[in-house]
Amino acid sequence: MEEKMDNNFDFTNEKTFKELLEKIRSLRGTLTTKIKSSTFFVFGNLLEPINNHALPETVLKWKRSEKTKACYRRLFDEVDDSGVTYIVKILTKIWPFRDSFEENIAYAIAVAQVMLNLKYEKITMSDTAIKHKIAKNLNILKHNTGFSLSSSEDETEKEKSNKEFDNVEKV
């Protein structure tokens, strides 16, 4: 059964507002699940599966594994000289008709980044974990500057240390 949006929605009605928030959270949860499953599908045997309800120690072990680290590094790399990156394949699996909004795409990229990133020790998503990445991804999408790991915080730290190393060598 199809639900229609009531344009006369009463935001002052606390019960109705809570129901709307629950629907939004449910939709976001469904999208997050689809992003995660598409990430595992696209990476295939390159990425070991993990349960969303795994114990924190199990999640940390999974994130520290060489396979997970390699997939994180490859997220914006081309898949076998195909001209298409892993993240584009993930996004195409989620939206085969390329019919999504930039905000959803930025969210999907953020979920994949956080899911594979060792710096975030959980497999579940929280607003605080991805809020910054969504904003950064939206900025990249709006300005068409292109994605790479060098645009993420941990790679920026590596670049800083590399520059410091270069300066030391030149002295």
**pLDDT confidence of residue 170:** 26
**pLDDT confidence of residue 21:** 66
CA distances from 67 to 35, 64, 74, 83, 157 (A): 19, 8, 10, 22, 22
pLDDT digits (tens, 9 = 90+) for 90-110: 999 999 988 888 888 999 999
The answer for 131, left when phi > 0, alpha when psi is -120 to 50, beta otherwise, is: alpha
pTM of the model: 0.73
Q: Own/partner pairs for 63-68, CB < 8 Å, 24+ apart?
A: 63/116, 63/117, 63/118, 63/121, 64/118, 68/116, 68/118
Q: Domain coordinates of the chain in residue numbers?
A: 18-170
